[in-house]
Amino acid sequence: MAKKSAPVQSIRDAFRVVPGEFDIAKVDPAGTPVGPADKAAAAADVALVGKRLDELQEALYAEGSGGGRRRVLLVLQGLDTSGKGGTIRHVAGLVNPQGLHIASFKKPTAAELRHDFLWRIRRQVPEPGRIGVFDRSHYEDVLVARVDKLVPAAEWRKRYELINAFEAELAEGGVTVVKCFLHISPERQKERLVARLEDPLKRWKYNPHDIEVRAKFSQYLLAYQDALTKCSTPAGPWFAIPSDRKWYRNWAVARILLETLEEVAPVYPEPSYDPVVELARLRDADPLR
C-alpha cells in the first residue's frame, strides 16, 4: 500500500505577504520557492488548474445568476514589463470570458481626478458571479502618487487606511479580494524593454517615459514594501510573485486564483422550479409536438 502523501501545501501561504515579516528585498524575482521546477511541469499543472478553474467559475457564475452576491477580484500590480498583461492573457484566459470583468487603470483622466481616488475603482468592481481582474488599481495611488509626489505625503499616507476600509467593505459585500505583486528584477526589466524596442510588433507597448520610471526602481520597491505590508489584510491579502520567469509567474497566479475559488466554494443554486414537473411539461405538453 502506497504511503499517504503529505497534504498539499497552500500555495498562497508560500507567497503571502505577512506584515511585520515581509521584506521585499528578500524575495528573489527569479526564484521558484514552491511548485514546478521548469516550464514543462508548470504548463502541465496550469492545464489542470485551468480545467478546475473553469468549473469553479461556472459554478460562481451560476450562483450569481441565482441571486448570490459573491465574486472574486484579482488585483495585479507590478512595475513595467512585470507581466500584468501576460498574466491576464494566460491566467484569465483559462476561463470563460463571459464570466470575467477586466479593468485597466491608466493615468487618471481630468474627470477622474475630480473625484476621490477610489471613485473610478468602485465603478469597476465585478458584479456578483464574476471574476474581476484589475490591471493596476487603487494601489497606484500609494505608488506613483508617492514616488512622483503627485499629492502631499500627508495625503497618500492616509490612503492605506482608506484602502483597507474599502477592501473590508468589498469583503462585506461578497467580494473576495486577492492581490498579486509581480516582482521582477531590474535586469529582467531591461531585457524586456530592449525586446519591446527591437520587435516592431512590440514597440506600441513601449513609452520613453518607461526609462524615467525605471530610474526610480528602488523608490518604487520602497513604496511597494509599504503598500504590501500596510494593506495585506485578511479581507485583502497580498501575494508577492517572483516574476522574472513568465511560466512561474503564470503558474503561481493561476494556483493562487484556484485556491481562492476553492475556498469561496461557489454553489449551484437550487432551481426555483421542480425539474420533474418541467420535464413532464416538455415531454407531455410540448407546445410544438
Nearer to a copy of itself, 32 or 104 (CB): 104
Q: Which stretch binds a copy of itself (CB under 8 A): 88-96, 142-150, 157-165, 252-260?
A: 88-96
Nearest distance, CB of residue 135 and a copy of itself, angstroms = 7
Query: Which of 13, 40, 41, 93: binder of a copy of itself (CB under 8 A)?
Result: 93
Query: Which of 123, 186, 262, 263: binder of a copy of itself (CB under 8 A)?
Result: 186
> Cα(57)–Cα(65) distance, rounded to whole angstroms?
12
Nearer to a copy of itself, 19 or 186 (CB): 186
Interface mask toward a copy of itself for 42-81; x: CB under 8 A: ----------------xx--x--xx---------------
**Residue bearing cell 494593506:** 231
Cα-flanking dihedrals φ and ψ of residue 86, to 5°?
-65, -35
Cα-flanking dihedrals φ and ψ of residue 177, to 5°?
-95, 130
**Amino acid in position 256:** I
User: Interior CA angle at 34 toward 30 and 38, to 5°?
Assistant: 60
Output the CA torsion 214→218→219→221 (10° steps): 100
How are beta strands 100-104 and 131-135 bridged, if at all?
Answer: parallel
Q: Which stretch binds a copy of itself (CB under 8 A): 86-94, 115-123, 139-147, 239-247?
A: 86-94
Taking alpha carbons only, the member of 163, 169, 135 closest to residue 253 is 135
**Residues within the interface to a copy of itself (CB under 8 A):** 58-59, 62, 65-66, 85, 88-89, 92-93, 96-98, 100, 102, 104, 135, 186, 190, 193-194, 197-198, 200-201, 203-208, 211, 214-215, 217, 268-269, 271, 273, 275, 278-279, 281-283, 286-288
